[in-house]
Structure 1
Amino acid sequence: MFGGLVAACSGNYPPLEVVDKVDIEKYLGRWYEIARLPNSFEEGCFCVTAEYSVIDSTTIRVTNSCKEDSTLGELNQANGKAFVVEGSNNAKLRVQFFWPFRGDYWIIELDKENYLYALVGSPSREYLWILCRTSKMDQSIYNMLVEKAKAKGFDVSKLHLTNQECEE
């Protein structure tokens, strides 16, 4: 979710399928990170959230936050932009936290009715996030998303559960 997205590179995987379409207006707002594949830009992060708001019809403001080193740690924020990939029905975004680098943010599973959970990854399978509208996710939904990620070629054995036992 932070700047390290730009380091993704293609592997020998079949094309990563994304959801049919995303209603950006419904996707906006706060998401809590439930789990992630380890990455250098979130090392030592607790209480991770992402906040999305509209800039214009093809650009979204991204504010990622985490507490460093503990649930009581200092709040760290990264601000960036996400650009809708043309022809993707809003399911593929390119996220930029510093110019000129952009990384893939592909929505590969989504609660299509209420937008309560999302599975987001990169086509390289290097990055993966399980997101929820609340800081806790029902275990059956989590298990379903892990299975979907595994079926799409992600190494779910490396998933890191995010500590969300945080004070607002």
Structure 2
Amino acid sequence: MLKIPLALFALALLPLTGCDTAPPPEIAPVQGFQLERYQGRWYEIARLDHRFERGLQAVSADYSRNADGSIRVVNRGFDATTSSWREAVGKAWFNGPADVASLKVSFFSPFYGGYHVAALDPGYRWAVVVGPDKDYLWLLSRDKQPAADAKPALLSVAARLGVPADKLIWVRQDRGDN
């Protein structure tokens, strides 16, 4: 596996729009958030297109607690054009109380971007994440192939946020090595 901690890939799952870490005005991050339940691996099921992540397959994100109280973020995806994996390691902090799913993430200090969980399955099986604005949206799942009821739920949230389903890119997760 080729590790490429590229700044561009770091931006893939974290847009830095003027280093804005606040959620978009019309987005209310999940309240009652439990980091302990959110930790672990999430698979990117769908996303809005942007140049930083274009062409990546088998994209995943791993979250774990660092000793200093921050959150370790490892984003990983397969670039089929180069037949190589790209990986970026970052650090996240809550923007406010730890039970509100609004964070700031950095892959290269001192630049931070917003990461906001706009919707979360009660069993922490799927999540809808937005960046500093609704031009950045990711549908995440604990499973490479989410349960049948997850996709309609994710699409419902995306529609409620004003994101048309035809704009989503559905991510291939069929590589066995992610």
Same fold (TM over 0.5): yes
One-letter amino acid of the structure 2 residue matched with residue 28 of structure 1: Q
Matched residue pairs, number?
Answer: 164
Tell me whether 1:84 sits opposite 2:94 in the alignment.
yes
Partner deviation per Cα, 1:47-82 (whole Å, 9 max, x = no partner): 000011101474100000011126x92111011011
Change (3 A) 1:14 1:153: farther
1:143 aligned residue: 152
Cα deviation, residue 41, structure 1: 1.6
Q: Structure 2-normalised TM-score? A: 0.82
What is the Cα deviation at residue 101 of structure 1? 1.6
Aligned residues with identical type, % of pairs: 33
The residue type paired with residue 51 of structure 2 is S
Which amino acid in 2 is paired with 1:22?
Answer: F
Alpha-carbon distance change, 2 to 82 in structure 1, aligned in 2, over 3 angstroms: same
Q: Match of 1:41, SS?
A: coil
Residue aligned with 1:130, SS: strand
Provide the rounded CA distance (Å) in 1 between the counterparts of 2:156 and 2:83: 32
SS class of match (2:44):
strand
Q: Give the letter for the 1:34 counterpart.
A: I
Paired with 2:108 and 2:60, the residues of 1 have a C-alpha distance of 19
Q: Give 1:37's match in structure 2, choosing from 48, 51, 68.
A: 48
Mapped to 2, the partners of 1:22 and 1:57 lie a distance apart of 20
CA-CA distance at 1:139 after TM superposition: 3.8
Q: Report if the CA contact (8 A) 2:17-2:132 is conserved.
A: no
Cα gap change, 1:57/1:99 in structure 2, threshold over 3 Å: closer, same or farther? closer
RMSD: 2.3
Q: Give the Cα separation in 2 of the matches to 1:125 and 1:58.
A: 28
- Residue 4 of structure 2 corresponds to which residue in structure 1? none
Matches within 5 A, 1:112-131: 112=122, 114-131=123-140
Superposed counterparts of 1:70-81, under 5 Å:
73-81=83-91
Q: Distance in 2 between matches of 1:125 and 1:153?
A: 8
- In the alignment, what sits opposite 1:163? 172
Question: Does residue 97 of structure 2 align to residue 96 of structure 1?
Answer: no
Moved more, 92-101 or 29-38: 92-101
Partner Cα distance (2:165, 2:114) in 1: 19
CA contact (8 A) 1:49 1:64 kept: yes
Tell me, in whole angstroms, the C-alpha distance in 2 between the residues paired with 1:14 and 1:105. 14
The AA in structure 2 aligned to 1:78 is A
Normalised to the residue count of structure 1, the TM-score between the two structures is 0.87
Structure 1 runs of 4+ off > 4 angstroms? none
For 1:68, the equivalent position in structure 2 comes to 79
